[in-house]
């Protein structure tokens, strides 16, 4: 059953009770965890470990345009369950719900295209498919592509060692070879943009003062188009960087035109245009690393809280990065990092994105497990009642039909202490609206596909709609059998619901005597009903 959501924050408790073991749950966390696969996490064995450990916070880019000053993350979210479900990407459970029994699992794997070539990522993807088959955990795929930004051009791809208190020249001449004394860049206007005494940061990660992958430099002199800099800390720069624009490219690739694109905000220009970007994007990645260079440290938390809130009320996923950096090299996070993860959950983030921690970190499996446990504990303290009131107030009156149904379903589920909410949907929109109100229980989205034929072959919609829910907090999609008619009758609705409930019981999602809230369409009417399960 559901625990009181804000007990830890609002009511007095025995401090010793904090040390009591957490009760086991079928869903370890409502918050999704995105793991980046790379050199230290691309083998079948390690990926399998990540899937089992909880890179399973979710079952899973730019509409129109996104400001060029922001970075784009293309969420190409695939089922990746072809082998696990019979070879065609879908496996049917009777006339009901796909992949809810032994195959249940909710995960997202991120592929970072700032390093590695196409073959590297293709091999990793194939390993992911094998790990899915071995673990019976479904997995979505994120493709992280680079938007326009200043890049260090290192054609040799060999690491470059920079020594503290030495000098290095930044030059726009990209034909020159990168070295410890000379760094070619892809921006010819740098000499006009800086002056003596200015700070310059180079590296893939936020400069903190003790990282060896980023360097802090001070402009010493400007010579023509070249900029001479004093190196403030020793560092080793490694890895090539590439740039791609996504939407126009994806629009010509058939079904991939439906791929969601998330805007990755990582500089002041993106922050200044946040509202416009949010309106055009499918979701937002809060890239605190690079943005933390542009913003004063004391301002970063304000950006995080406001950005997540704007995403929440807009019903679009918010993803937070750079949370447990120390676990790249250590088995446990710092106390500050653990608190940071919890605060991101309390702020309302949909997902935690692990980058270097899993890509090149020494403990990818342990990192995912640890972050998942922190998320689960923080969710118990989430002030859902306060958030619900704010969300309803923001929508205002009169509500749209779908908003009214979604908010009513969540209110009913909270009042009766339901174990889950089941939502029948064809586009996924109704389920995402329910998740927008942050219910304390999981939302199982039964996506009803529409079967079509051109007399030569059969195709169905619904898979994209289902998988794109993978990154939404608390939303767990399932795909119904496409052999059902597009317009459900009352009997077929009950048939699919029975199968969903039966498999939910078999897999431990729900138990006898639990209450379940069901949101479905009957004819032209939308209905919210409460079911109490029998033995």
In 56-143, where does DSSP find H-type helix?
A: 118-135
pTM of the complete model: 0.74
pLDDT of 211: 60
pLDDT of 471: 87
Q: Are 466 and 442 in contact, with CB atoms under 8 Å apart? A: no
Please enumerate, as own/partner, the contacts of 267-274 that have beta carbons within 8 Å and a separation of 24 or more.
267/69, 267/70, 267/149, 267/291, 267/294, 268/294, 268/295, 269/67, 269/69, 269/70, 270/67, 270/69, 270/70, 270/71, 271/295, 271/303, 273/67, 273/69, 273/70, 274/307, 274/310
Rama region for 396: left / alpha / beta (φ>0; ψ in -120 to 50; rest)? left
Distance CA 420, CA 443 (A): 6
pLDDT of 427: 78
CA angle 220, 222, 226 (to 5 degrees): 115
Q: What are the mean pLDDT values of the chain's consecutive 10-residue runs (535 residues total)?
A: 46 68 70 92 94 59 28 37 31 30 55 84 92 81 70 82 93 91 87 85 58 80 94 78 43 59 82 88 86 82 93 93 93 96 95 92 94 92 87 89 92 93 86 92 82 67 68 83 54 74 77 91 82 85
Q: Within a 10 A sphere around the Cβ of 137, how many other Cβ atoms?
A: 24
pLDDT of 417: 92
pLDDT of 456: 73
pLDDT of 468: 74
pLDDT of 86: 31
pLDDT of 73: 40
């Amino acid at each position: 059953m559901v625990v009181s959501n804000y007990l830890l924050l609002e009511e007095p408790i025995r401090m010793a009770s904090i040390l009591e073991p957490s009760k086991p749950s079928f869903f370890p966390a409502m918050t999704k965890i995105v793991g980046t696969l790379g050199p230290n996490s691309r083998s079948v064995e390690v990926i399998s470990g990540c899937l089992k450990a909880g890179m399973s916070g979710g079952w899973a880019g730019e509409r129109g345009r996104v400001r060029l000053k922001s970075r784009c993350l293309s969420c190409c979210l695939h089922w990746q369950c072809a082998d696990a479900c019979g070879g065609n990407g879908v496996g049917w459970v009777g006339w009901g719900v796909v992949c809810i029994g032994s195959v249940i699992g909710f995960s997202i794997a991120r592929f970072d295209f700032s390093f590695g070539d196409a073959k590297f990522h293709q091999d990793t993807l194939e390993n992911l498919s094998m790990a899915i088959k071995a673990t019976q955990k479904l997995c979505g795929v994120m493709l992280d592509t680079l938007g326009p930004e200043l890049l260090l051009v290192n054609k040799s791809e060999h690491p470059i060692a920079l020594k503290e208190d030495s000098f290095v020249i930044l030059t726009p001449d990209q034909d020159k070879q990168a070295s410890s004394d000379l760094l070619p860049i892809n921006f010819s206007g740098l000499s006009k943009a800086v002056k003596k005494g200015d700070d310059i940061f180079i590296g893939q990660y936020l400069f903190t003062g003790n990282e060896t992958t980023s360097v802090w430099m001070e402009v010493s002199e400007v010579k023509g188009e070249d900029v001479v800099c004093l190196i403030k800390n020793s560092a080793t720069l490694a890895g090539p960087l590439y740039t791609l624009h996504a939407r126009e490219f994806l629009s010509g690739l058939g079904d991939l035109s439906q791929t969601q694109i998330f805007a990755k905000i990582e500089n002041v220009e993106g922050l200044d245009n946040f509202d416009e970007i949010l309106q055009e994007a499918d979701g937002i990645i809060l890239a605190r690393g690079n943005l933390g260079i542009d913003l004063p440290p004391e301002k970063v938390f304000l950006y995080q809280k406001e950005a997540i809130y704007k995403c929440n009320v807009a019903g679009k996923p918010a993803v937070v990065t750079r949370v447990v950096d120390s676990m790249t090299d250590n088995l446990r996070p710092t106390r500050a990092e653990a608190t940071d993860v919890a605060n991101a959950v309390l702020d309302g983030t949909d997902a935690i994105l692990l980058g270097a921690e899993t890509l090149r970190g020494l403990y990818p499996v342990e990192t995912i497990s640890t972050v998942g446990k922190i998320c689960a504990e923080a969710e118990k303290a989430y002030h859902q009642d306060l958030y619900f009131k704010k969300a309803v107030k923001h929508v205002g009156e009169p509500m749209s039909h779908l908003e009214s149904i979604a908010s009513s379903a969540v209110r009913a589920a909270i009042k009766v202490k339901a174990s889950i909410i089941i939502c029948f949907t064809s586009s996924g929109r109704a389920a995402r609206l329910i998740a927008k109100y942050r219910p304390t229980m999981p939302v199982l989205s039964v996506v009803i596909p529409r079967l079509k034929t051109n007399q030569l072959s059969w195709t169905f919609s619904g898979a994209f709609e289902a998988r794109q829910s993978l990154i939404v907090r608390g939303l767990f999609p399932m795909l119904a059998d496409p052999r059902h008619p597009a317009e459900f009758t009352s009997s077929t609705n009950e048939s699919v619901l029975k199968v969903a409930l039966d498999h939910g019981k078999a897999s431990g999602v729900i138990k006898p005597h639990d209450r379940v809230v069901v949101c479905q369409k009957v004819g032209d009417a939308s209905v919210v009903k409460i079911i109490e399960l029998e033995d």
